C-alpha cells in the first residue's frame, strides 16, 4: 500500500478534500442517471459502488474522525447499502500508512528524541494503519513492543471534521437534523477521548487490571514512561485478527471458546464495571497462539449512568417487558416515549420498541445462545430496515447513551455471528438491585 507523506491538517485543506469528494459524488450521480436514460432497468448498485469507493478513499486519506465514522458505519450494517459496508469494512483493518519522516517528526515533537534513541530497534514500516493511529514493532531490553503513533492533527480536527461529515451522514443515514446532532455530539465526545493517549494508557491499565481474572482473555502490559500525548508503548501480542483466524478453519470448540471469552469480557464490564469497551470491531482483538482472546485497544470507553442502566437492562433481563405499564414507564425514562406523545403515538412506539427489545434480548433470555443462526440476524436487519423507512422514526428518540451501548452490543453480536459461536449467556447477569 502506498505510503502517505502528509495528512491534510488545516480546516481549509480538510474542507477542500470533502468538497472534492462531494464533486466526485455529484459526478457519479450524473453518470448514473445518464446511463439510466438508456437503460431504465439499471439499479443503484454501480452508483453505490462508485460513491462508496470515492468516500472511503477520501476518508482514509483524512484519517482521524473522518475514517472513524466510516468504521462505525460499517458496523451499523442495517443502515447502509451493501457496497458501502463492504468498502468501509476495510477501515477496520487498513488505511494508507504514514511515511518515515512524518513518524520521526512525531517522536521528536513528543519526546525530543528519535525512535532509535528510545528503543533498541524500531521498524519504521507500520504493521497496520487504522483510523486514529498506526502501529509499529519495536524492541527494548529483549521485549517485543507495539508502538501506536497518532496521526498529526487528528485531535485538533475532530469538531470541524464532524461538521464536514454531516452532509454525507445526512445522505447515507437519512436522520433528522436533531437526531444527527445528538449522534454527532456523542461521537465527538468519545473521539476526543480516543485521541487522548494519556487517558487511554490510564484506562487500559485500569480495565486490564479489573478484567484480569476473566477466563481466556489477555491484555498487553502498558508502559506510561514510554508513552505520551500522541504515542503509546505496550507489549506486542502475537496472534491472528478475526478474519485471519476464521481462514484457518477453527473447530467449533475453539470458536465457542473465543466467543465465550468475548461475551464474558463485554458482559463483565457492562454489569460489574458499568463502563464498557465501546469499539467492538474485529481489528481490536487478536486470537493468540495459545487460543486466548487478546484485547489490544481501550481507546473508546462508554460509561453507563444509573438512569440509563437500570431501565434498559430491566427491560432485557426481567419480566418488565411483559408488563405494559412498567415497559412504557421504562421507555419514558429512556426518552423513547416523549411526554407530549398522543395516546396513539404512545401505543405505536410501545409496540415498535417492544418488538426491538424482545429481538435484542433473545441472547439474554436463555442460558445459552447459538449466534450462528442467520434467522436471528435477518430479523434484526429487517427490523432496522423497517424502522429506517418509517417517518415516525425521523425525529430523535432515546437518550444519547443508546448510540454507543447499541453499537457495542450489536458489534459484539456481529463478531459472535462471524465466529458462529455458541455461548453461555448467563455468566454475568445484569445487576438490578440498587442497594
Q: Are 144 and 294 in contact (CB under 8 A)?
A: no
Contact of 306 with 401, CB cutoff 8 Å: no
- Averaged over 347-351, what is the pLDDT? 94
Task: Give the pairing type, strands 121-122 and 128-129.
Answer: unpaired
User: How do the domains of the chain map onto residue ranges?
Assistant: 11-94+157-192, 238-435
Rounded Cα–Cα distance for residues 280 and 276 (Å): 10
Considering only residues 96 and 231, tell me which one the structure prediction assigns the higher pLDDT: 231
* Helix residue ranges per DSSP H, 98-176: 100-111, 115-118, 158-173
Contacts 24+ apart (CB under 8 A), 106-112: 106/149, 106/150, 106/152, 106/230, 106/231, 107/149, 107/231, 109/230, 110/228, 110/229, 110/230, 110/231, 111/228, 111/231
Q: Which of 401, 408, 400, 403 is nearest to 278 (CA)?
A: 408
Q: What is the pLDDT of residues 161-215, one digit of tens each?
A: 676 666 665 555 555 667 667 767 777 787 788 888 999 999 999 999 999 999 9
Look at the chain and count its residues.
Answer: 435
pTM: 0.76
Q: Is the pLDDT of residue 233 over 60?
A: yes
- Mean predicted lDDT score pLDDT of the chain: 79
Q: What is the spatial distance between Cα 393 and Cα 175, in angstroms, rounded to a whole number?
A: 9
Give the pLDDT score at 260. Answer: 98
The confidence score (pLDDT) of residue 249 equals 96
> Does residue 412 have a pLDDT over 80?
yes
Q: How do residues 204-219 score in pLDDT, each as one tens digit?
A: 999 999 999 999 999 9
Q: Over range 100-104, report the average pLDDT.
A: 86
Identify which of 300, 295, 298, 299 has the alpha carbon closest to the alpha carbon of residue 216: 295
CB atoms within 10 A of CB 417: 18
Smallest CA-to-CA distance from 132 within 157, 154, 163 is with 154
352-409 residue pLDDT tens: 999 989 988 999 888 999 999 999 988 887 887 787 677 887 666 788 888 788 878 8
Per-residue pLDDT band for 306 (boundaries 50, 70, 90) equals: very high
Burial of 88 (0-12, 13-18, 19+ CB in 10 A): buried
Find residue 148's DSSP bridge partners. Answer: 135, 232
Phi-psi region of 265 (alpha: psi -120 to 50; beta: other; left: phi over 0): alpha
d(CA 205, CA 426): 27
Confidence of residue 261 (pLDDT cuts 50, 70, 90): very high
- Return d(Cα 404, Cα 190) in angstroms, integer: 9
Amino acid at each position: 500500500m502506498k505510503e502517505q507523506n502528509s495528512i491534510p491538517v488545516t480546516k481549509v485543506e480538510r474542507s477542500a478534500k470533502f468538497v472534492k469528494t462531494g464533486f466526485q459524488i455529484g459526478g457519479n450521480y450524473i453518470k448514473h442517471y445518464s446511463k439510466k436514460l438508456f437503460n431504465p432497468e439499471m439499479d443503484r448498485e454501480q452508483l453505490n459502488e462508485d460513491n462508496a469507493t470515492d468516500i472511503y478513499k477520501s476518508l482514509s486519506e483524512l484519517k482521524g474522525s473522518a475514517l472513524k465514522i466510516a468504521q462505525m458505519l460499517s458496523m451499523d450494517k442495517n443502515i447502509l447499502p451493501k457496497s458501502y459496508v463492504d468498502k468501509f469494512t476495510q477501515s477496520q483493518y487498513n488505511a494508507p500508512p504514514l511515511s518515515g519522516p512524518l513518524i520521526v517528526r512525531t517522536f521528536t515533537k513528543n519526546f525530543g528524541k528519535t525512535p532509535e534513541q528510545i528503543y533498541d530497534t524500531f521498524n519504521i514500516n507500520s504493521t497496520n494503519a487504522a483510523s486514529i493511529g498506526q502501529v509499529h514493532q519495536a524492541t527494548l531490553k529483549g521485549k517485543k513492543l507495539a508502538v501506536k503513533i497518532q496521526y498529526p492533527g487528528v485531535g485538533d480536527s475532530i469538531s470541524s471534521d464532524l461538521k464536514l461529515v454531516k452532509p454525507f451522514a445526512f445522505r447515507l443515514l437519512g436522520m433528522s437534523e436533531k437526531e444527527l446532532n445528538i449522534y454527532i455530539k456523542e461521537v465527538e465526545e468519545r473521539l476526543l477521548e480516543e485521541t487522548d493517549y494519556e487517558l487511554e494508557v490510564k484506562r487500559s491499565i485500569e480495565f486490564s487490571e479489573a478484567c484480569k481474572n476473566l477466563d481466556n482473555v489477555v491484555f498487553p502490559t502498558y508502559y506510561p514512561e514510554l508513552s505520551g500525548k500522541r504515542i503509546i508503548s505496550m507489549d506486542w501480542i502475537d496472534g491472528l485478527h478475526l478474519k485471519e483466524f476464521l481462514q484457518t478453519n477453527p473447530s467449533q470448540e475453539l470458536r465457542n471458546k473465543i466467543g465465550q471469552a468475548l461475551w464474558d469480557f463485554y458482559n463483565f464490564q457492562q454489569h460489574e464495571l458499568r463502563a464498557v469497551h465501546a469499539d467492538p470491531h474485529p481489528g481490536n482483538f487478536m486470537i493468540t497462539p495459545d487460543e486466548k482472546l487478546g484485547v489490544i485497544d481501550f481507546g473508546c470507553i462508554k460509561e453507563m449512568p444509573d438512569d440509563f442502566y437500570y431501565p434498559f437492562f430491566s427491560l432485557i433481563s426481567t419480566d418488565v417487558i411483559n408488563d405494559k405499564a412498567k415497559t412504557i414507564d421504562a421507555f419514558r425514562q429512556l426518552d423513547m416515549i416523549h411526554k407530549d406523545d398522543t395516546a396513539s403515538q404512545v401505543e405505536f412506539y410501545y409496540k415498535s420498541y417492544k418488538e426491538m427489545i424482545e429481538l435484542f434480548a433473545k441472547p439474554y433470555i436463555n442460558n445459552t445462545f447459538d449466534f450462528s443462526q442467520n434467522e436471528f440476524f435477518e430479523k434484526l436487519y429487517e427490523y432496522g430496515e423497517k424502522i429506517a423507512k418509517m417517518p415516525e422514526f425521523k425525529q430523535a428518540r432515546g437518550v444519547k447513551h443508546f448510540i454507543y451501548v447499541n453499537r457495542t452490543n450489536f458489534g459484539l453480536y456481529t463478531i459472535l455471528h462471524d465466529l458462529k459461536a455458541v455461548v453461555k449467556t448467563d455468566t454475568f447477569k445484569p445487576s438490578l438491585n440498587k442497594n
